[in-house]
Each structure stands twice: as structure tokens, then as C-alpha cells.
Amino acid sequence: MKRSPARPTSVDAPHFHGRRKGRRLRPGRQALVDGFLPRLRIELPQEEGCLEPRALFDRPVRDVWLEVGFGAGEHFVSQVEAHRDVGFIGCEPFMNGVAAALSEVKVRQLDNVRIVDDDARPVLAALEDASVGRVFVLFSDPWPKSRHNERRFIGSSTVDALARILKDGGQLCFASDHMGYVRWALEHVTADGRWSWTARQPAYWRCRPDDWFPTRYEAKARARGAACVYLRFERKSRIDGGSSERKSLVCSGTRVI
């Protein structure tokens, strides 16, 4: 496996909005960034759509899952530990969060993890078609001001990219406490005929699924009395063309809030 000590820049990314650094890292965390992160960092290829994710790991894995914006890594690291037979790719541009996750990965001696300390969009572009089994986008920045809505990670271009990289039956797992972003995500994903929303009753989106783990952002939201919404979408079969069902549950009257 090729590894590089440099941050991946081989696939151009759009202008990134958000913080990359917070307060200065403690010496121990900085040592992890300097010495441990290069062993886990992914080198992106020059050409789009040619990264086979299972080849990134030093041992066979049955599937590869991706988390976009893992924050301090509470959910990400818990998933990595719970599914040792799955390879995990985590994307997080905020270095303080990366350092926190690295600390847990090292303490728990996890060997089924790779990290991109940068924006996730170049990773989506690099991955092969139908090469990922699950993608998590949990409590990402909602960019609440109308003029900033297009900065949200979930949008037309990323929904298209996610539909390309996910296997048939693969899952897109989304959570947020911002109802404007929830409606936005529902509208963008269900408007694309390649997806189906798996909810059958309100409990499906009001309660965190048993196979997801809590994050500090969820805890903060609940502490201030905010409701959290959990959405799970499934990639339809490519054999059907994914175009037979284009009904949006938002438009058809199903309400999330």
C-alpha cells in the first residue's frame, strides 16, 4: 500500500469552508499527528474513480465504510472497533478532531482504519464505482444562513457521487438537529431516483438506530433541548436503473417534524 506523509492534493477540491485548526495541540497529540497519522493517511490517485478502497488495508476486509466529518471520532472509532472485519475511511479536516481520533485508534490498537485529514469530496471523486458499503454524514455543519446553504455537504453533486460509489443496497446514514438541513437532505436525496428512504414510521427517524453510536454533537443538541433526526437511505439496484421510484416522501405528505 502506498502511503504519503503529505496531505492528499492529487484530486482538486472545491474551496473548503470551515475550521482546520483550533487551540494548539498538546505535545502528545501533536506527536500522533506527526508520527502516527502518516501511517494511516490515504494517498489519493491522480485519476478520478480509480481507488479500490479494500486495497488500502493491510489485511482482507469484507467491506469498506466511510464517515464524512467524524469530528472528535466518537462514532467513527466506535464503529471501527465494533466491526473489525470492515475497513473504515474517515475524513475530517479539523486537526484537533483528527488528533483525538488518532489517540483512540492507537489506544484500542485498531488496524482497520485509514484517515484523510482534509475535505471528503476529493475522496468521493477518487473511489471506484460501487466500492463502498456504507457512508455516515452525522451532524455536519448545517450552514443555517440561506446564502450559505450550498456549502452543506449534502447537495446535488455529492448525492450523485455517493450514488456512484455505494454498492447496490449500500446505505447513506445522515443525522442532524437542524430541521432546515434535515428537510434539505430529504429533498436532495429522495429527488434522485437511485435512492429509497428506509423509514416506515416516525420512530425510524426520531430514535438513533441501534447500530449507530452517539457523538458529542448529538449530546450537545439534546442538552439544549433540540430534537435530533436520523435518516437512512438505501442505494437502489443498478439493474433496475434506479429510476422507477422518484417519489419524495417530503412532497407526498410524510412529515419529519
Q: What is the DSSP letter of 257?
A: -
Question: Residue 22, exposed/middle/buried by CB under 10 A (0-12, 13-18, 19+)?
Answer: exposed
- Residue that has been written with the C-alpha cell 464524512 in this structure: 68
Which cell goes with 21? 485548526
| Helices 156-165 & 179-190 angle (0-180, nearest 10) | 60
Helices (H), 7-88: 27-31, 37-40, 74-82
- The sign of the dihedral angle between the CA atoms of 182, 185, 191, 194 is negative
Amino acid identity for residue 213 in this structure? F
- The span from the CA of 61 to the CA of 86, in Å, is 5
Write out the catalytic residue numbers: 141
